Chains A and B, each alone.
Chain A
């Protein structure tokens, strides 16, 4: 088998030699070997390809000089002794006459190299008939929720997530999603030249010079309900196009970034689901609950990565009970425990519940729930219920944070989530509390007494920690360091708020909202008071319970 990565690879040439060609879609989930061969910040996909090639001992590889990461991948592969055939194709950026000629010559160069390597001769006739056997008719089926997927390459799981959430992919315009338009090659035509043209004329990826036609589909096609823009972590190329179009197209747009492993999948699924929910109201599978009771009482469970929170609500929208428990190793178990506690407080039994709605990171594992809804929708719902003036919800939880913008009717208009790291989250504060030797609960209160205005400039947890350590070494007052930390968290929050153009009034929820120091700093930056509910950690659970009630009431 010959492995390749890029859609411009003339892989049919290889197949005409009777060799199988396969696009490398790494299934590995870590970069252990790759990280010892290169820097950890090269493109995640390229790193996984390296890992995969080594683990599977793929000994024949063809690359294109697509981008910096792939070019370095080639250089690294060159030093691996088990690789028997390694080739890089010089892909022109221009599709004019000279670019085409260059590319045709590149195909010939590949043929020559493969002839030398395999000891077999290239069979033009066989190649032509192989080309002619390729079909490229694509059937487009319009469904009620038509999504365009665009950006850098993505794993099948992303496509599956869209489909499972009820969307259907009308066009997959990611780097490897589209197929070239094959056409019959006549006997008088040079099949190699024809193949070069077919490949170069396929839907241009971002690397091409002239990319005007990339967006034609999005702007020309009338029946697109939403666009999902995918980027790969540490691939920066596609972010330019995203930045360029995000305010220009008037179709709802969601940006998703993945690192091509399964670890980012949970978050990705949540975002896609929330996006599709926002596109078409709710689109969730519903289950019948065995014990439907007359008196309407519902429970909302928010299964977060750090805490599991439950709210029990009656039909008058009165909170009968609630609980906040740390999430253990298994989300399902934690959800049971938290539910039991809330039931105890409400003085009722589980049989008294008419409906259970789950939300949060672990919501899919809560099999006893009737409905699952994303935390984006739930937070918006809960916050709006508590105060109808709220237009922006700032939820800073243990490991993730999100900013949600809502309209005057409480509908989600836009949202951002941190998808990269724990900077500016509760986890970050917890780390710092260890470094500063102060319990998390006291951090806020103590920071209010600051005197000297210190700066912690880095937003990256690792760098920030080393800044804190050096401030401690300089004997700086703990209160001042805490204040500086608060400011750095707020800086990050504010940049998120700006990204979605958040509007007044603001509500802060999640564990970090209990830190009065952060809230004060945020108020200072926003120039207005930020509303913090009495129990900021249960807003998501409250929202999900409210959604449950609405369901039952029809």
Chain B
């Protein structure tokens, strides 16, 4: 399999001077991958997660198949509004992840830095900007981002919009929650709706948005159910699958497929026993890293219980006032504002999910997360929970010192094994 992907990768790399061909190749690759996932499912993987894998490919393919009906977004953009207008989001972090799945991230990243983009920028952004510079990204109708999570967003989206001459909007999310900050965000959401209406010639309908919020609430209901069961069950999991969950806990949460997935997930979990040590992951995962795969994929002794990014806002939303609800959701996201919010959320999850050990991934260039990792470490160690920080890169394979990661992980798991189970 790897040989096939490598050959495909070098085909893409050789043809970068023919953007239309490369666009086609990338789409083709994803179409084939989707078929592969749909028809060769591994029986060991729970049904819900197989379904998840399949819908993620569907989601990423939609904007590639219908660029005239799609927009660029980031992980924390208010995509509910897009879903309500049947517009497809292309979320750039996912696109960049797929480029490393295709072994093409290196050449894209090098392109971006050759053009003057800082090499200390997060690789999710660099790979995407490289694809932009090679013109292998489809030209979608607009670019939309929120200002939270990291600095890269506002700059990357402004850059895309300028390069492709498409409308662009950054939703500036205030640091703290207040009535004024909600109305600041709501007025920007309205601006966003006008922008999308103008760019796509589609009409916004607030009742459709209410339906999306209803679906989102349904998904969240199952997600909370799953969380409850997760306290006493452990389900087969892998670092890739945990990353795929970001699709459904974020940009695609208002979709029907998503609520179907969460329903299946909440059912699946009850079928599995409780086994082994419970490991919790903070921040994203380099899904291609062999040492991490070896320790955390489908391992009954060390179970990957979850990743904090998938639990950043679980509250029910008020469907009667959908725009205010979206504004509230963005402002109160644990990744907005002070780092303490994130720490408290993780501490709560550790207790709720009876976690035995925490691994924090310091993504190359991600200042917002690694800037605070020492604070998190202190707090978690105060709880008596072992904490490991790993430096690496979830997109650029070259920034992952495998031997080092391997040694640190083995030492960490040895340490876990020597301890009494805590809960």
Rounded to whole angstroms, the CA-CA distance of A495 and B119 in the bound complex is 12
The yes or no answer to B229 lying at the interface (CB within 8 A) is no
Q: Which of B367, B374, B398, B403 contacts A69 (CB 8 A)?
A: B367
* Given contacts A93-B147, A209-B170, A239 and B118 within 8 Å (CB-CB): yes
**Residues of A contacting B115 in the complex (Cβ-Cβ under 8 angstroms):** 243
Q: Is B172 an interface residue (CB 8 A)?
A: yes
A39 lies within 8 A of B374 (CB): yes
Contact residue among A37, A71, A101, A469 (Cβ-Cβ distance under 8 Å from B403): A469
CA distance A469 to B187 in the complex (A): 57
Known: A67-B151, A209-B172. A499 touches B367 (CB 8 A): no
Q: How far is the CB of A101 from chain B (nearest CB, A)?
A: 7
List of B residues within 8 angstroms of A101 by Cβ: 180, 184
Asked if A279 CB lies within 8 Å of chain B CBs, one says: no
Bound-complex Cα distance A16 to B167 (A): 43
Contact with B along A47-78 (1 / 0, CB 8 A): 00000000000000000010111011111101
For B180, the chain A residues whose CB sits under 8 A away are 98, 101-102, 105
- Say whether A69 contacts B371, CB under 8 Å: yes
Contacts of B112 in A (CB 8 A): 243
B193 within 8 A of A: no
Q: Does A258 reach chain B (CB closer than 8 Å)?
A: no
Known A94-B172, A459-B398; contact A41-B154, beta-carbon cutoff 8 A: no
Instruction: Report yes or no: B172 in contact with A240, Cβ–Cβ below 8 A.
Output: no
Residues on the B chain within 8 Å of A99, using CB: 172, 184
Q: Contact: A463 with B399, CB < 8 Å?
A: yes
A246 to chain B, nearest CB (A): 5
Q: Which residues from chain A contact B94 at a C-beta distance below 8 Å?
A: none
Chain B residues 392-420 with CB under 8 Å of chain A are 397-399, 401-404
The answer, among A74, A209, A470, for a CB contact under 8 Å with B338, is: A74
Near A by CB (< 8 A), chain B positions 161-190 give 162, 170, 172, 174-176, 180-181, 183-184, 187-188
Contact A98 B183 (CB under 8 A): yes
Q: Does B150 contact A (CB under 8 A)?
A: yes
Q: Does B29 contact A (CB under 8 A)?
A: no
Q: Which residues of B contact A32 (CB under 8 A)?
A: none
A116 lies within 8 A of chain B by Cβ = no
Q: Is the interface of B mostly helix, strand, loop or mixed?
A: helix
How long is the Cα–Cα vector from A105 to B184 in the complex, in angstroms? 12
Looking at A186-194, A230-238, A524-532, the stretch in contact with chain B turns out to be A230-238
A88 close to chain B: CB less than 8 A = yes
| A92 lies within 8 A of B174 (CB) | yes
Contacts of A235 in B (CB 8 A): 118
- Among residues of B, the one whose C-beta sits closest to the C-beta of A69 is B367
- 8 Å CB contacts to A: which residues of B191-245? none
Chain B contacts for A157, CB-based, 8 A: none
Q: Does A458 contact B (CB under 8 A)?
A: yes
In angstroms, Cα B370 to Cα A75, docked, is 12
Q: How far is the CA of A235 from the CA of B152 in the complex (A)?
A: 10
- Check A38–B184 contact: CB distance below 8 A: no
- The reply to whether B402 and A93 contact each other, CB–CB distance below 8 Å, is no
Per-residue contact bits, chain A 459-481, to B (CB 8 Å; 1 contact, 0 not):
11011001101100000000000
- Judge if B57 is at the interface, Cβ distance under 8 Å: no
Considering only CB atoms, which chain B residue lies closest to A239 in the complex?
B118
Q: Tell me whether B397 and A457 are in contact (CB under 8 A).
A: yes
Q: Are A458 and B340 in contact (CB under 8 A)?
A: no
Q: Please, which residues of chain A bring their CB within 8 A of the CB of B119? A: 420
Contacting residues, chain A, for B151 (C-beta < 8 A): 67-68, 236-237
Min distance, Cβ A15 to any Cβ of chain B, angstroms: 24
Q: Are the CB atoms of A72 and B372 closer together than 8 Å?
A: yes
Q: Cβ of B152 and Cβ of A72 under 8 Å apart? A: no
The answer to the question of A441 belonging to the interface, with a C-beta cut-off of 8 Å to chain B, is no
Interface check B114, CB cutoff 8 A: yes
CA of A458 to CA of B188, assembled, Å: 43
Indicate if A367 sits at the interface (CB-CB under 8 A): no
Q: How far is the CA of A99 from the CA of B113 in the complex (A)?
A: 34
Give A473 Cβ to nearest chain B Cβ, in Å. Answer: 8
CB within 8 Å of A: which B342-393 residues: 362, 364-365, 367-368, 370-375
* Interchain CB contact under 8 A, A457 and B106: yes
Chain B residues near A69: list those with CB within 8 A. Answer: 367, 371
Q: Give chain B residues whose Cβ lies under 8 Å from the Cβ of A234.
A: 120, 367
Residues of A within 8 A of B375 (CB): 75-76, 79
Query: Do residues A499 and B114 form an inter-chain contact, with CB atoms below 8 A?
Result: yes
B367 contact from A42, A98, A255, Cβ within 8 A: A42
Q: Is the CB of A75 within 8 A of B339?
A: yes
> Could you tell me the distance between the alpha carbons of A67 and B118 in the complex, rounded to whole angstroms?
16
B274 at the interface (CB under 8 A from A): no
Q: Is A43 an interface residue (CB 8 A)?
A: yes
Q: For B163, give the chain A residue with the smallest CB separation.
A: A244
Let me know if A498 is at the binding interface, CB within 8 A. yes
Cβ–Cβ contact A41 & B367, under 8 A: yes
Whether B121 and A71, one on each chain, are in contact in the complex, defined by CB atoms closer than 8 angstroms, is no
Closest to B121 in A: A236
Q: Does A242 contact B (CB under 8 A)?
A: yes
Q: Pick the contact of B154 from A93, A239, A243, A467 — CB < 8 Å?
A: A93
Write the chain A residue with the least CB distance to B158.
Answer: A240
Docked complex: A193-236 residues within 8 A CB-CB of B: 206-207, 209, 211, 231, 233-236
* Max chain A Cβ within 10 angstroms of own Cβ: one of B116, B150, B152: B116
Name the distance in Å between A34's Cβ and chain B's nearest Cβ.
10
Among A88, A239, A459, point to the contact of B117 (Cβ < 8 A): A239
Interface residues of A in 88-109 (CB under 8 A from B): 88, 90, 92-94, 98-99, 101-102, 105
Q: Does B275 contact A (CB under 8 A)?
A: no
Measured CB to CB, the closest approach of chain B to A48, in angstroms, equals 14
B110 part of interface (Cβ distance < 8 Å):
yes
A90 touches B176 (CB 8 A): yes
Q: Tell me, in angstroms, the Cα distance from A372 to B106 when the chains sit together.
A: 41
Q: A552 → chain B, closest Cβ, in Å?
A: 41
Contact among B120, B175, B188, B365 for A90, CB-based, below 8 A: B175
Chain B residues contacting A93 (CB-CB under 8 Å) are 147, 154, 170, 172
B residues in contact with A495, CB < 8 Å:
110, 113-114
Residues on A with beta carbons closer than 8 Å to the beta carbon of B374: 36-39, 76
In the complex, what's the smallest C-beta–C-beta distance from B412 to chain A, in angstroms? 18
Specify which chain B residues have a CB less than 8 angstroms from the CB of A255 in the assembled complex: 116
Contact with B along A97-139 (1 / 0, CB 8 A): 0110110010000000000000000000000000000000000
List of B residues within 8 angstroms of A499 by Cβ = 114
| A90 with B174: CB separation less than 8 A | yes
Supply 14 A–B pairs (Cβ within 8 Å), ascending by A.
A39-B371, A41-B367, A69-B371, A72-B367, A74-B338, A76-B375, A92-B174, A98-B187, A102-B180, A207-B154, A236-B365, A239-B118, A243-B117, A495-B113
5 tightest Cβ-Cβ pairs between the two chains A and B? A72-B371, A243-B116, A239-B118, A75-B339, A39-B370
> Beyond A38-B373, A240-B155: 20 further Cβ-contacts under 8 Å?
A39-B370, A39-B374, A42-B367, A72-B367, A72-B368, A90-B174, A94-B188, A101-B184, A102-B181, A209-B172, A234-B120, A236-B117, A236-B152, A236-B155, A239-B117, A243-B117, A457-B397, A460-B399, A463-B401, A495-B110
